[in-house]
């Protein structure tokens, strides 16, 4: 087994050593976020606001006219890897994912940059921005501006804007009973990032981490043209259980998912050793009461279901008759591990994990 050392990655300083968290594991725990947002003013008074904060969706959507709606989102975090270029790529891919999750096509991005300028050289910061710009170029959009500050920890991300026809907007809240749940990417990014920080990640695991987190969820912009697509979200910091639960709450349904979804290379072995992020534990503490687990389920299996996914895959609720079509589309876009992982049923908003 070849273990990759952070020292093998060329840079003058470990970016991850400057941050207390990394990637989507930096997100506030779901329970904390709900407490903060409780009592915030409702957005229903704005007639052209098609999607706001009501259902914890991936982006806001504003109707511009009869044929266009603007999708707007922002996402940023601290480093999940030490290579500055790869950090930029991962953060940009993750930010654009929210646009794709709404079914939209990105049109431009703005950079969000917070850097400890006394700790990081201009060259390192430039490489972070170049990584983000390379992903935007691959998505066919410019980084048209942004804002930068001097901060204690390195932070990078994007404001991402997209366009979509108002009739084709995909949300996380319109799933229907009987829908099949399809996940486009394997799980395990949080486990691999924890292994990276502990300097026990293998070359195979590191390659899997980078490949997954920099794969654009561009398949999302084609989902609105398919029949039977009822709800879509991307799986990020709250883990598979958390984002499935958001879908259930939006639709007023229950979900049943398998306890063995596809995993990234080397993740199962690491999870069995107890490698996990603090965010995984916080996630379970936040929404565990709404999850039903099989009796005797090992802790490491539960940890994988709460594992925070940085730049994770799309979770798609589709009518069973059209699920094979969605799987075929995903695989044509390079999501070779896309799989049906469960389904939605009538019942209270909760997730039941079945063996």
- Active-site residues: which are they? 24
With both helix axes pointing from N to C terminus, report the angle between 203-213 and 189-197 in degrees, rounded to the nearest 10. Answer: 130
State the pairing for strand pair 254-258/350-354: parallel
Which residue shows structure tokens 């995984």? Answer: 280
Q: How far apart are the first and last CA of the chain?
A: 31
Residue 269, H or E segment: helix 267-272
β-bridge partners, 234: 314
CA distance 159 to 102: 15
CA distance 21 to 290: 26
CA distance 306 to 187: 10
Q: Residue length, the chain?
A: 355
Tokens of 302: 């539960």
CA Rg, the chain, in Å? Answer: 19
CA distance 334 to 219: 9
197 SS3 class:
helix
């Amino acid at each position: 087994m070849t273990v990759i050392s952070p020292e093998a990655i060329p840079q003058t300083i470990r970016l991850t050593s400057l941050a207390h968290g990394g990637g989507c594991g930096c997100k506030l725990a779901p329970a904390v976020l709900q407490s903060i947002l409780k009592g915030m003013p409702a957005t229903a008074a704005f007639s052209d606001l098609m999607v706001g904060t009501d259902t914890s969706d991936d982006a806001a959507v504003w109707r511009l006219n009869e044929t266009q709606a603007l999708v707007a989102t922002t996402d940023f975090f601290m480093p999940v890897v030490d290579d500055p270029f790869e950090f930029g790529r991962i953060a940009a891919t993750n930010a654009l994912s929210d646009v794709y999750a709404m079914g939209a096509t990105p049109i431009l991005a703005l950079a969000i940059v917070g850097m400890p300028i006394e700790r990081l050289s201009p060259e390192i910061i430039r490489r972070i921005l170049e990584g983000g710009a390379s992903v935007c170029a691959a998505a066919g959009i410019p980084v048209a501006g942004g804002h930068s500050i001097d901060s204690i920890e390195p932070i990078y991300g994007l404001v991402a804007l997209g366009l979509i026809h108002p009739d084709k907007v995909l949300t996380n809240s319109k799933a229907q009973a009987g829908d099949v749940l399809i996940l486009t990417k394997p799980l395990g990014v949080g486990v691999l990032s924890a292994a990276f920080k502990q300097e026990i990640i293998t070359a195979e695991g590191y390659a899997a981490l980078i490949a997954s987190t920099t794969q654009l969820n561009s398949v999302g912009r084609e989902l609105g043209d398919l029949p039977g697509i009822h709800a879509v979200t991307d799986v990020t910091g709250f883990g598979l259980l958390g984002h499935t639960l958001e879908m259930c709450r939006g639709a007023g349904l229950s979900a049943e998912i398998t306890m063995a979804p596809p995993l990234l290379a080397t993740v199962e072995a690491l999870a069995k050793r107890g490698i996990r992020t603090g965010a995984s534990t916080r996630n379970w503490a936040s929404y565990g009461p709404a999850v039903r687990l099989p009796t005797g389920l090992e802790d490491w299996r539960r940890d994988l279901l709460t594992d925070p996914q940085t730049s994770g895959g799309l979770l798609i609720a589709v009518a069973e008759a059209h699920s094979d079509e969605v799987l075929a589309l995903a695989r044509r876009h390079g999501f070779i591990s896309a799989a049906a992982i469960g389904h939605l049923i009538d019942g209270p908003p909760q997730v039941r994990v079945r063996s």
